[in-house]
Homo-oligomer: A and B are copies of this chain.
Amino acid sequence: MKKEIALGIDIGGTNTAFGLVDREGNYLAGASIATDKHADINDYLKEMSAEIEKLNAFLKGQFEILGIGIGAPNANYYKGTIENAVNLRWKGVIPFCNMLKAYFPDIPSFITNDANAAAIGEMVYGGAKDMKDFVMVTLGTGLGSGFVANGKLIYGHDSFAGELGHINVEPHGRQCNCGLQGCLETYVSATGVKRTVFEMMSRYNDPSPLRDISFNEMSAKKVSELAEQNDKIALKTFAFTGELLGKALANTVAITSPEAVFLFGGLAKSGRLIFDPTKEALDKNVLSTFAGKVKLLPSQLSDNAAVYGAAALAWNELKK
């Protein structure tokens, strides 16, 4: 009998990563192709399916793909579509799951956005295995999130729930790519940290090597490295970032009362620099019923989280 696996596909603006993951979370093999190479989605699907066939051949056909999970920007879980994604070349509404059927006619496929997939990944393979209520926050260029309540991901009415990155945290705050002002992700994300460094340099007089770096040369990683060396501007940047995240989480916790909030991604790797001020602000600003009760944890998913999450989505759906 062939061993059963799921195919996880993570579609990003630049690259598409995919991998074969078994029920226990073992990553058997994977590969990637360029997403932005193909103006026509049919060419893209052709290349991807050929690569997947190669993977299967590499594994000597000992495995059977039971389901395909996909993480993609602006994915509609209910409809199996990718809708008007700004960072993809395929415009309009793409019936992605239906189009996949031409290449994998007998394999069911499921799609959601990458943060939701990461939340399911955490539930199936990570630190949320025994949790029914938690929040996953993914900190990258932007801020994504996935909410799980009663053991189920909250997709909401239109499948686009979980946009924590776009709750307002500052009425006349920073301009966001979404058209609004003061969205959480303009502060709490790699880009947000970069913006904050410049605000801190304008607000305070502490000398810092950060003052020799231009806006375009600045990165959250550099700020993190300097914070590790006790640079005051860098430390103030992290304190400010964590405080805003903690306050936003306090409001969120009052709504869904999660057992834990998981942080994932680049910023989460800054450890105590981000966790300490976040936890402090969360407990200080939350309704006393919840204070001190909500765990703030690093994600247990590895760097392949997006592919794991996509595979977990498939396993989760197949269980139903």
Question: Which residues of A are interface residues toward B (Cβ below 8 A)?
Answer: 131-133, 145, 147, 149-150, 152, 154-164, 166-168, 178-180, 247, 250-252, 254-259, 285, 287-290, 293
Q: Which one of B162, B164, B179, B258 contacts A157 once the chains associate, using CB atoms below 8 Å?
A: B258
Contacts of A256 in B (CB 8 A): 147, 154, 156, 161, 255-256
Say yes or no: A156 contacts B257, CB within 8 Å: yes
Say yes or no: A150 contacts B152, CB within 8 Å: yes
Main secondary structure of the interface of A (DSSP, over half): loop
Say yes or no: A259 contacts B168, CB within 8 Å: no
Contacts of A161 in B (CB 8 A): 133, 149, 255-257
Starting from the known contacts A167-B254, A251-B251, 19 additional A-B residue pairs (CB-CB under 8 Å) come to A132-B157, A133-B154, A133-B157, A145-B255, A147-B255, A147-B256, A149-B152, A150-B152, A152-B152, A158-B289, A159-B257, A161-B255, A163-B290, A167-B251, A168-B250, A168-B285, A178-B287, A178-B288, A180-B288
Question: What is the minimal beta-carbon distance from A297 to any residue of chain B, in angstroms?
Answer: 13
Question: What is the minimal beta-carbon distance from A65 to any residue of chain B, in angstroms?
Answer: 27
Say yes or no: A257 contacts B178, CB within 8 Å: no
A-B contact pairs, 16 of them (CB 8 A): A133-B154, A133-B157, A133-B161, A149-B152, A149-B156, A150-B154, A156-B256, A160-B257, A161-B257, A162-B257, A163-B254, A163-B290, A164-B255, A168-B247, A168-B251, A256-B256
- Inter-chain CA distance A155–B259, complex, in Å, is 11
- Inter-chain CA distance A290–B156, complex, in Å, is 11
Say yes or no: B258 contacts A156, CB within 8 Å: yes
- Inter-chain CA distance A155–B161, complex, in Å, is 18
